[in-house]
Homo-oligomer: A and B are copies of this chain.
């Protein structure tokens, strides 16, 4: 079975496990106040070219979104998101603030869509839009250009909206061959974002970076209140230290993207219909519904929906794969599709 199901199917990058082993007999302070966490934050700040962000390590993506959004919004305030946004579809209502959706364009929100939502919400009988949420890379593997981010950022500033970027797959966005955004750009573009570890070589853990310090007051209270406080915070610390020590974070993401791009080009070569242009490590194809079972017999992958009588299948490339695995997958698909 070739695994193209997701990029969180293995424990962690070997280097991460190795560094844990090394520290196995160390005594650490709890709750993220340890020296590994401190150093990991310094390494991240170095990447960002800043000094004063408030950085917190949380266990996973949903709890990160939930804690941050709940911390900064009042219950009557709303988040503007793509209809395809992770918080809107795949978090089982974890965000209890209303999510005002904008139709996605290639998996992305547009400045224009945001403005339309704003124009419709004008008084206290409706929720008050207060945040824009995007994912980069998106749930459909696409990425935002610097210009797009700047436009969204501008609309947010003009309308007093908090701009929050879900970076569960930020690594693949920043290392995509289509990308023109740098890590250093993020502090000025948005109020907060997170750097996903779980889908980028860590055992688990996301690094939330709050750029707008007005939003971070008492944040540790919210982490604890919502159940997101790690007693062994140093476990996250060691991992992010490892990821940002020698560019390992980017190296992992880059490999995943390369495999993804290779897979897309090969799929095109054998005339498989691409559902949405692949810019990172997620590739969506359209294939006759009747062929899904045969594919899934040999390739582990997910069906994301359907268009007419065609299934949308998602393939995700990850660190443990090699080019040969892609070749095998292509053989399978070719043979099923003939």
Contacts and interface: CB of A to CB of B under 8 A. Distances in A.
Interface of A: 3, 5-6, 8-12, 14, 17, 20-21, 23-31, 59-63, 65-67, 70-71, 74-78, 89-94, 96-98, 120, 124-128, 198-199, 203-204, 218, 220-232, 234-235, 238, 300, 305, 320
Nearest to A25: B320
Contact of A222 (B5, B9, B65, B76): B76
A74 B218 contact: yes
13 contacts: A8-B30, A12-B20, A17-B17, A20-B20, A21-B21, A74-B221, A75-B96, A76-B222, A92-B127, A93-B225, A124-B218, A128-B221, A226-B226
Nearest to A318: B27
Nearest to A204: B232
A234 B90 contact: no
B225 A76 contact: yes
A300 to B, nearest CB: 8
Q: Assembly of this chain: how many copies? A: 4
Contacts of A65: 227
A14 to B, nearest CB: 6
B6 A198 contact: no
Contacts of A124: 92, 218, 220-221, 223-224, 229
B74 A224 contact: no
Most chain B CB inside 10 Å of its own CB: which residue of A25, A67, A93, A231: A93
Contacts of A203: 20, 203, 232, 235
A238 B11 CA distance: 10
A106 B178 CA distance: 44
B17 A20 contact: yes
Contacts of A221: 74, 76-77, 92, 124, 127-128
Contacts of A59: 59-60, 204, 230
A320 B25 CA distance: 7
B90 A126 contact: yes
Contacts of A17: 17, 20-21, 24
B98 A66 contact: no
Contacts of A125: 31, 90-92, 224, 229
Given A76-B224, A224-B76, A320-B25, A126 B89 contact: yes
B11 A26 contact: yes
Contacts of A62: 224, 227, 229
A175 to B, nearest CB: 21
Interface centre among A8, A67, A71, A225 (most CB of B within 10 A): A225
B204 A230 contact: yes
A97 B96 CA distance: 7
Contacts of A5: 29-30
